[in-house]
Amino acid sequence: MRLPLALLPLFALVAGTGAVATGLTRADPPAAPAPKAVPPRVKLAVLVMFDQLRGDYLDKWRPLFGPDGFARLQADGAWFANCHYPYATTTTGPGHASVSTGATPARHGIVNNNWHEKGRDTYCAASDRYTFEPAPPRATDPKTGKEVKPPDAGNPERLRAFTLADAIRRAFGEPARIFGLSLKDRSAIFPVGMNPNGAFWFNGRFVTSTYYTGRLGRPFPAWVSRFNDEKIADRWFGREWTHFRPGLDYAAHSGRDDGAGEGGGSKQARVFPHPTTGGLKAPGRQYYDALANSPFGNEMLLELVKRCVVAEKLGADDVPDLLTVSFSSNDLIGHTWGPDSQEVLDVTLRSDALMAELLRFLDRQVGRDNYALALTADHGVCPLPESPTGRARGAKRVDQTELQKGMEKHLAAAFGGADPNEKKTAWIEAVSAP
């Protein structure tokens, strides 16, 4: 899977400390730092990931970008235009874990977003050992009246390799400030490893889990509480998502607005302009789904990023800090409308402008020479089977239910039917996509 990767020397800040962040297992921790570490070259390292930002987007749409976003990274930093993930299941969980550890899923253990383990579906970044913080309101089943079991809460315990964040913590101790921010829990959790100051993700408000506030003893920050209390997430309710550049011929650079195979999101329609209410009259779950499934989700996350840098004084002293930011809306949009859509072109143009704003903010707040930033994607995406590109490559959709029936029939013919004395009635116990 080909990806974009732009960076200023992010790994330089651990040079000379004896700590290395690539390919280390939890059973084989980094070596202890040298007594006199070389002073860090930067005060703040920033790792930015755009979920599903396919590598060719920054090539084919390069003439459409401004000078201060992606182009600045290409001009002022190192630009690797031919990067590939060397494993098959390039989904969000494995991507974030691989970038953060320098290891592949066979080593770091995050083989997919979900997999079947010990008779149940297992999610890569959550378990019932922890609860959300702030705690969600209690819910009852309207049919039975019984209290609904709260969902599993995020944590990094299935990650089996050390991250860059873990190396920074080991090298510089508690004075190093480490935060992970995203709309998705796994995208906030894996990049900051086992012992960050905080990881926060969005489920209608920004939350964390008792892994961080309880096990690690990290207080829930006042600046996140204020962000939630001010209802920043409601700011985009009712605002239509229109073309970022109305004068641009979008069809010439992507595809037609109502392409084959496109979806409609959370009652957002297939074509521009896209409403952002989720079909509601006031903010609620469907609206927050629509918000995340639009460029406004990225804008909201950028607001949280700015508050984190200011409130936590990241990059304010000589002990290096780490901030990881994963913008999830690109991925949600890509899955809904497809990579050849005007929506993906639009969110990519907006992502370029967003990066320009982030870089300007860091220049002002931290100082242009005091931070290093790396940008990449966790994975790419294939064309929609119904799209012209997909059809040209012979792509089609396969009904998973029918596929599984065919597999069962073949296995039964080859090896016989299921043992009538056993409770098992099928050869295939479970399927984890893809």
Which residues carry out catalysis?
A: 92
pLDDT at 153 over 90: yes
CA distances from 359 to 8, 55, 315, 363, 366 (A): 12, 21, 14, 6, 10
CA distances from 125 to 2, 111, 326, 411, 428 (A): 25, 11, 15, 34, 25
CATH of the domain at 225: 3.40.720.10
**What is the distance between the alpha carbons of residues 4 and 282, in angstroms, rounded to a whole number?**
38
Q: Clarify whether residues 430 and 290 are in a common domain.
A: no
Q: Clarify whether residues 378 and 407 are in a common domain.
A: no
Q: Clarify whether residues 48 and 126 are in a common domain.
A: yes
Domain membership of residue 405 as a residue range: 401-434
Q: Clarify whether residues 377 and 423 are in a common domain.
A: no
pLDDT at 25 over 70: no
Report the chain's C-alpha Rg in angstroms. Answer: 23
Q: Clarify whether residues 419 and 367 are in a common domain.
A: no
Surface-to-core class of residue 382, CB atoms within 10 Å of its CB (0-12 exposed, 13-18 middle, 19+ buried) = middle
Q: Clarify whether residues 279 and 363 are in a common domain.
A: yes
- The helix or strand, by DSSP H or E, that contains position 80, with its residue range, turns out to be strand 78-84
Quote the pLDDT of residue 428: 87
pTM for the model stands at 0.89
Q: Clarify whether residues 342 and 419 are in a common domain.
A: no
Higher pLDDT, 296 or 429: 296
Range in 114-118, 144-148, 212-216 with the lowest mean pLDDT: 144-148
Q: Clarify whether residues 288 and 429 are in a common domain.
A: no
Per-residue pLDDT reduced to its tens digit, 260-305? 999 999 999 999 999 999 999 999 999 999 999 999 999 999 999 9
Q: Clarify whether residues 344 and 413 are in a common domain.
A: no
pLDDT band at 140 (very low <50, low <70, confident <90, very high): confident
pLDDT at 18 over 50: no
**What is the distance between the alpha carbons of residues 346 and 349, in angstroms, rounded to a whole number?**
5
Q: Mean pLDDT score of the chain, rounded to an integer?
A: 89
Q: Clarify whether residues 199 and 261 are in a common domain.
A: yes
Domain count, the chain: 2
Q: Clarify whether residues 297 and 425 are in a common domain.
A: no
Specify whether the CB–CB gap between 186 and 108 falls below 8 A: no
**3 state DSSP class of 44:** strand
In Å, the largest CA–CA distance within the chain is 72
Q: Which residue has the tokens 């770091």?
A: 108
pLDDT at 20 over 50: no
Q: Clarify whether residues 326 and 433 are in a common domain.
A: no
CB contact set of 196 (below 8 Å; sequence gap of 6+): 165, 169, 178, 179, 180, 212, 218
